[in-house]
Chain A
């Protein structure tokens, strides 16, 4: 295990922030450019995971276990969110026979 943890010794914190930024932005782009509701939902999961990774990196950086406990709570939240969200998508599919979000334009102002 020592050899494994030695591999991160030289990685600056900025590079973790950079990685999380890029993946978070990819999630944002995914939400903006896709029309399939399920793929949009997956992009949201991508954003949640980028934040999780950053929290874990900060937790190790500061030597504080609270960050990792917080990641655990975010994972519990994500599980609940996915269950409700996919139920909503199933309901939308049952009503409109598609998961295209452009069908739901009545929510537009």
Chain B
């Protein structure tokens, strides 16, 4: 039980560091640590498939893409121009209000039941594969079209316009 709270604390700590780090490269490294704590959360929920996918797709693919883009367009500046203090304060205040509103609505629900894994096989690859390829076969195939179109769009956007160049 205390494992969850320790990992939750680490998640919040690293995600605060993500948005407060001056150097964008440090932000990305903290984001990797945050995603690693999320992977541990999935393991604690015995969602093994999600843990592996989170590890490979998020920490492996997406964050490498982020780092690569950042290196590609490196600004050679330690820090970006910061927003004025009032804007920052308003942003933090707005986010704080969001937390308060959501927590207050949560309080009105009252005491909740503990999360108990009734079926230990729930998050395993075998079980999820059966659900994915029976009930969700069409969305699964459509998502491949989505990925293909995203790839074509990314290539189209990132290549230089031959007429302009």
Binding site for B on A (CB under 8 A): 1-2, 4-5, 7-19, 21-30, 32-36, 38-39, 41-43, 45-46, 49, 52-53, 56-57, 59-61, 63, 65-66, 68-69, 71-73, 75-84, 86-91, 93-94, 98-100, 102
Contacts and interface: CB of A to CB of B under 8 A. Distances in A.
B135 A7 contact: no
B150 to A, nearest CB: 3
Given A25-B98, A69-B128, A87-B158, A12 B47 contact: no
Contacts of B114: 9-13
Interface residues of B, number: 90
Contacts, number: 257
A12 B140 CA distance: 32
Nearest to A29: B95
A30 B27 CA distance: 11
Contacts of B3: 7
Nearest to B3: A7
30 contacts: A1-B46, A7-B4, A8-B44, A9-B114, A10-B114, A14-B111, A15-B8, A19-B8, A25-B96, A26-B12, A26-B16, A30-B18, A32-B91, A38-B24, A38-B69, A42-B27, A43-B19, A46-B18, A49-B38, A56-B41, A60-B45, A60-B47, A68-B128, A72-B128, A78-B57, A78-B62, A84-B150, A87-B153, A100-B81, A102-B81
Contacts of B157: 84, 87-88, 90-91
Contact of A82 (B43, B66, B117): B66
B12 to A, nearest CB: 6
Contacts of A72: 49-50, 53, 128, 132
Nearest to B97: A25
A65 B122 contact: yes
A80 B117 CA distance: 32
Interface string B89-118: 011101110110011001001011111111
B18 A42 contact: yes
Contacts of B153: 83-84, 87
B99 A22 contact: yes
A57 to B, nearest CB: 6
Contacts of B41: 53, 56
A23 B11 contact: yes
Given A1-B46, A22-B99, A46-B15, A79 B57 contact: yes
